[in-house]
Structure formats: structure tokens, C-alpha cells
Structure 1
Amino acid sequence: MSSAQPFSTTTFDIAESGIDWKKFGSTLLSQVGYPIAGIVILISIWWLGGWAIASNPDTESFADFAPAPAFSKLLELFTNGYIWEAAIPSLERIGLGLLWAVVIGVPVGVAVGLYSNLQKLTNIPFQLLRMISPLAWMPIAVLAFSTWSGAIVFLIAIAAVWPILFSTAQGVRRMDPLWFKIAKNLGADSLKMLIKVILPAIGQDIFAGIRLAVGVAWIVLVPAEYLGVTSGLGYAINDARDTLEYDTLAAMVVVIGVIGFFLDGICVFLIKKFSWHQEG
């Protein structure tokens, strides 16, 4: 009588398949499941808020804030190109403001990080200036610049420069002093030291500062565009409020959130790219 074939030889051997299903499931849950669940929870809370507004006779005129009218309007605005018309001027202002913040913040941050006396001299003035709301500079910006767009770029730059400056300075201070000694022994002058040693070493810190700066600048942009200009996401929100188009207002808020999310994602990618602890 022949013996029965062992069960282990007739079943799928996970170990021999080359796929760790447990790890795969955990990764899928972490990278897909949790984000989707978070979005569902957020939209559910939004829906409950819209339902509460629509159910109250005192607030029912604001019912278009709810997700269904907002997403319906969002599709319409996307189709007719209104979203791009509003987003492109804002992105241009953000880009210029961040460019100026980087041009000013990185060199000053490197200098502050390298020279302790300069750090002691500038610490209190920089901290005081950092604590001033960027919008408080609006009257000065209006006087100093001939256009509202120029004033908005200035406000974005003055808001974004501090995270970049302080993050850059911190990155320089964390560098091993032996690196400078080795570079000098190899004949590196000040320019080569900056390009070949300092900037590559603090690249992650610079982009971490830019990531923080993007968040601050994105917050400043919207209220700054409430005044003077006739284009941009902030203007679109203000215009929708004035015309009582609350579905458009909610749709533009979603657009601002989505664009901000992607800008932050770009910064995260750059931070990982310039990290010294990348996986092989």
C-alpha cells in the first residue's frame, strides 16, 4: 500500500515563491490602505459638516460647502480651464518668492553656520524679524513695489527665507570639522570648499528648509492675493465668497490642498535624494 504524498509537497510553498506575502501585505497597507482610510475619514467629516450646515435653517444657504457640490464644481472648473487660469499665476508667484528666499537664505545660512561670531551677531535680529507676520509687511511692500504681484512675491520671500536660512545654518554647524581640514590639505580653496564639500553635505538640510518654506509660503499666498490682484487662487476664493458661490470656494480650497500636497511631495523626494542614508 503506497503512502500518501506529504501535504507540504502538494501545497504552494511561499518561501520558494520568492515573495514575502506578509511583508507585501504590510507594505500595501502602510502605503495604500492607511492613506486611503485617512482620505475617507477626512471626506466623511467634511460630509457630516456639510450635512449639519444644510440641516440648520440658519446656515442652509452655505450648503454648497458639502463634498458633492464641491467635487461637481471642481470637475466643471477643471474642464473649462478655470483652475489652470487661477493656479498658474499663484505658482509663478510662489516660484519667484521661493527663488529669492533660496538666493538669500542659503548664502546667509552658510555664513552664519561657518562663523560663530556672525551667528552671535545676527541671532537676536533674525529671531525678531522671523516672528513678525509676513502680512504685517504689506504696507511696506505696497510702497516699495510698483505692482501687487511684486509685493506678493516679496511677502512670500520674506516668509520663506527664515526656514531656509536656519535649516542651512544648522546643517553647516553639524558638519564634521575634519572635512574642512582634509579639504584644505588637499588644496581646496574657499570656492571649491563651498561647491565640493559644504553644499553636497548640507543638501538635505537645504531642501528640508525649502519644504518648511513651501508650507509657510503657501499659507501666506492666499491672503496676500485677496488684495489688489485679479488673478490667482487667493483671488478666486475671494471672488467666490463675494459672489456667494460656495461650491466654487470649496472646490478652490481642494485645489489649494492638492497642489500644496504635490509641492510637499517634490520636497520630500529631494530630501531623500540628497540624504546620506539612502538604501543601496
Structure 2
Amino acid sequence: MSSLASVHARSLAYPFIGLGLGLLLWWLLVHGVGGQSLMAARFSPENTWSAAVQLWQGGEVWDHAWASLRRVALGLACALLFGVPLGLLVGSWRDFNQSTSTLFQFLRMISPLSWMPVAVMALGVGEAPVVFLLAFAAVWPIVLNVSAGIAAIDPQWLTLADSLGANRREKLWRVTVPAIAAHLLTGIRLAIGLIWVVLVPAEMLGVNAGLGYFILDTRDRMAYGELMATILFIGLLGFVLDWLAREAHRRWAGQ
């Protein structure tokens, strides 16, 4: 028991050790390399912490966070709406796969941010182009992982379902969906990571709320402590979203 407890304690301590080393490196870069530079002082851990406390108490950053999370949810929902059926087609229909694989790989390799001018011209300024960019970034890992899940299904499962008289709908919900669930959750986790990377620059497309907008606002106000605190807050939220996706995958895989 004591050895298990010590292993558990070390596993909990290591992340904090890493964070502490990162904080120490940050402090050394500001106060050592930066020296007496005014710009370095503005981005110091002390100034950032003070600004973070004020943002937390003021609540403004939470309004922007909710706006960003709402766009993340919409983008992910759109990606699932298109990505899951496409993945099912790619994985189960060989002719469709061969006809579209080159096209999908070509589109997948285009940076979502390169579509920003086209999205604004086609959809205008506001929520629509932001959600489009997020959905475009998220759809490809969903398509690829769903199709991989279809390819990994044991054919004997489908043969057994046929022998029991299952129709197409029953095979879909009783065999296919449970079989691809783990792959889909992996795709969702990868999609969330891509969405979170694209979110901040996408929110610089004329919206008046969101973490990307708030980054520009703090820069324009020269509130450098708030700027750095918001950057760290974005990292924290992204970490929480990824942890939730990993936990969902772990729980499903453990069933």
C-alpha cells in the first residue's frame, strides 16, 4: 500500500514540478535576460498575476470565454453533423472512398485560417465565418477516425448480425455505432485541439466578444498584464477541454 501511495503521490507531484519549472524559467527570462526592460516588466509573472486577479473578480473575461465556448460548441456540432456521415461513407463504401480520398486529403492540408478572406466575403462579418472556420478545422479528424473505426470492425460481427436477422438500422445502432465510438471520441479530441488553435485568430474577424477579440482589446489598451493573463487563461481552458475529451475516451475504453 505504501509503495502504491508513493507512486500515486509522485504522479501527482510531477505536473506541479513541471509547472513550477516553467514559472521559474518565465521569471528568469523577465528579470534576468530582460533585465530592467520596461516591456519585460509588463509581462512579468507578478504583473500577470495581479491582472489575472482583477480579471477574475471583474468577470469580464468570463463573458468572453462563454462567447468563445459557444462558438466551439457550434463549430464542433457542425463538424459532427457533416463529419460522421462522411466518415461512415468513406469507411463502408469503397468506390466513394477511392473517388474522394484525394480530394479530402487535399482539402485537409489547407490551413483553415487561409480561408478567412473567403469566409468573410461569402458569409459577412460576425459569427458565421468564425463557426465555418472552426467546423472546417474540426471535420477532418472526425472523418478520418470514423472511417478508421469502420475499417476496424470485425466482419464476423456483421455476419453474426445478419444471421440473427438484423436489418440495416439495427446493424448500424447495435454493431457499427458501438464499434466506432472510441474512434469517434479520439476524433473529437483531435478536433477540439484544432478548434482551440484556430479560435483565437478566427475571433479577430470583426466579432465584439470572445477571447480572440479580448486579446486584441488588451493589446489596443496596452494592458499587457491582462494580455498575458488572457493568454494563460486560454491555455487553461484548452487544457480543461482536452482533459474532458480524454476522460470521456478513457471511460468508454474502460467499459
TM-score, structure 1 as length reference: 0.87
Tell me the amino acid that sits aligned with residue 207 of structure 1.
L
Q: Deviation at 1:147? A: 4.3
* 4+ residue segments displaced more than 4 Å: none
- Aligned ranges 1:47-86 → 2 under 5 Å: 47-52=27-32, 54-57=34-37, 60-86=38-64
Please tell me whether the aligned partners of residues 182 and 249 of structure 2 are also in contact (alpha carbons under 8 angstroms): yes
Unpaired runs of 5+ residues, structure 1, are 1-19
1:193 alignment partner AA:
K
- 1:37 pairs with one of 7, 14, 17: 17
Q: Deviations over 1:144-163 (max 9, x none)?
A: 32442111000000000001
**Given residue 116 of structure 2, which amino acid in structure 1 is its aligned partner?**
M
* CA displacement at 1:143 relative to structure 2: 2.6
Quick check: 1:23 aligned with 2:4? Answer: yes
Aligned equivalents of 1:272 and 1:127: distance in 2?
29
Question: How far apart, CA to CA, are the structure 2 residues paired with 1:150 and 1:28?
Answer: 47
Q: C-alpha offsets along residues 92-133 of structure 1, whole Å, 9 cap, x if unaligned?
A: 101100000011111111111112222111111000000111
- Partners in 1 of 2:23 and 2:173 — Cα distance? 47
**8 Å contact from structure 1 (residues 114, 172) kept in 2:** yes
CA deviation profile, 1:65-112 (whole Å, cap 9, x unmatched):
121111111111010101111101100101100000011111111111
Alpha-carbon offset, residue 56 of structure 1: 5.0
Pick the structure with more helix per residue: 2
Are the counterparts in 2 of residues 134 and 220 from structure 1 also a CA contact under 8 Å?
yes
Identity of aligned residues (%): 39
Q: Indicate if the aligned counterparts of 1:102 and 1:161 stay in contact, CA closer than 8 A.
A: yes
**Preserved CA contact (<8 Å) 2:130 2:205:** no
Equivalent in the alignment of 2:70: 92
Once the two structures are TM-superposed, the CA of residue 170 in structure 1 deviates from its matched residue by 0.7
- What is the RMSD of the two structures over their aligned residues, measured on CA atoms? 1.4
The alpha-carbon deviation at position 268 of structure 1 amounts to 0.5
Task: Determine the C-alpha separation between the residues in 2 that align with 1:118 and 1:52.
Answer: 59
Answer whether contact 1:62 1:246 (CA < 8 A) is retained.
no
Q: 1:261 maps to what in 2? A: 239
Give the 3-state SS of the residue equivalent to 2:208 in structure 1.
Answer: coil
C-alpha distance in 1, partners of 2:204/2:35? 31
> SS where residue 46 of structure 1 aligns?
helix
Alignment of 1:100-119 (within 5 A): 100-119=78-97
Q: Which runs of 5+ in 2 are unaligned?
A: none
Paired letter, 2:31: W
Q: Residue 200 of structure 2 contacts residue 212 of structure 2 at CA under 8 Å; is this kept in 1?
A: yes
Q: Using the alignment, how far apart are the partners of 1:56 and 1:202 within structure 2?
A: 57
Question: Which of 1 and 2 has greater Rg?
Answer: 1
TM-score (norm 2): 0.96
Contact 1:53-1:63 within 8 A present in 2 as well: no
Aligned-partner SS, 1:226: coil
Residue type matched to 2:23 in 1? I
In the alignment of these two chains, the number of paired residues is: 255
Q: Which residue of 2 aligns with 1:162?
A: 140
